[in-house]
Amino acid sequence: MEREVLIVGFPGAALLDVAGPADVFGAAAKARGGYRVRIAAVGGDFDASGVRLAAEDLRDVTGPVDTLVVVGGHGFEEAARDVELAEHLRRLASGSRRVASVCTGTFPLAAAGLLAGARVTTHWAYCARLAAEHPSLEVVPDAIYVCDGRVATSAGVTAGIDLALALLEQDHDAALARLVARWLVVFMQRPGGQSQFSVRARVPPVREPGLRALLDAIAEDPAAPWTVDLMARRAAMSPRHFARVFPRRVGVPPARYVERARVEAAAGALESGDEGLDVVARRSGFGSAETMRRAFLRVLGVTPGGYRDRFRTTGVA
């Protein structure tokens, strides 16, 4: 059976948002068949990253569509306000097996009412905005991609390749996904729950030297016993002042930041080694595997075992 993948763009779309998934499904079609990739936009041809792309007029696409993919790019705001685009997305999604987005393509899909109540992600710079504009969504800000039932969403730009490879594996098997990844000379898709950026890299610049030193120390040794008193001393602040300043400068309470740093350390251990979950938990600063499991679910939306299984499924050539 040939599955039709319809990639929907708009003026100001990101070229790689279009090309990444198109190349993944196109390569799979050449290797094993089973896919037909089409590109469409309201009115037909559109500009993506300054390149004019040939596209079908979305008005003429009647379906049925197996996988509806909406891309992102700097033109996403106008696309999200495009009433005609929303109408066509709803029309085509009604008969599709799944709907997906790359990067800020979540905004047009959400505006069309196609993501209500779903767990989703988008480009890291727009996660807070997506959550504010669409409170019915459960936005997972750190994920590379999220698959929730028939809805699949990815983080920014290159994450569309990760998502497409994951969907390819769902449709077929890991062997075909690995073959396509090797053909495209890319890494196998990163686990869906993997963080878009390191904990330390996501913190906005802080002006206090002591606080900067503390953040670096936590990143270097997340398993240390980081109590509030210890962190305050390392930051050269009183505990009371520290408790006020840290959330304002870093964006999260101290305990939450430490938890994220430990999850990041544990994720790295799960990716690269085969130690038991109890050992990984202790070495990452968690008291037990159960504590680590709860932290992974809060931060990444997956269990440690699920994270490891996902990596091993797609990370071995």
Q: Return the active site residues.
A: 103
Distance CA 237, CA 193 (A): 35
Contacts 24+ apart (CB under 8 A), 145-149: 145/121, 145/189, 145/192, 146/119, 146/120, 146/121, 146/192, 146/301, 147/192, 148/118, 148/119, 148/120, 149/118
**What's the distance, CA 7 to chain centroid?**
18
The neighbour count for residue 95, using CB atoms within 10 Å, is 12
* Amino acid identity, position 20: G
* 8 Å CB contact between 317 and 182: yes
Listing DSSP states for 69-124 in one string gives EE--STTHHHHHH-HHHHHHHHHHHTT-SEEEE-GGGHHHHHHTT-STT-EE---G
Distance CA 108, CA 88 (A): 11
The neighbour count for residue 247, using CB atoms within 10 Å, is 13
* Beta strands in the chain, from DSSP E residues, in sequence order: 3-8, 35-41, 46-48, 51-53, 56-57, 67-70, 98-101, 119-120, 138-139, 145-148, 151-154
φ and ψ at 63, to 5 degrees? Answer: 85, -170
What radius of gyration do the chain's Cα atoms show? Answer: 21
* Amino acid identity, position 300: L
* 8 Å CB contact between 70 and 109: yes
Q: In this structure, what token pair is assigned to residue 91? A: 């029309």
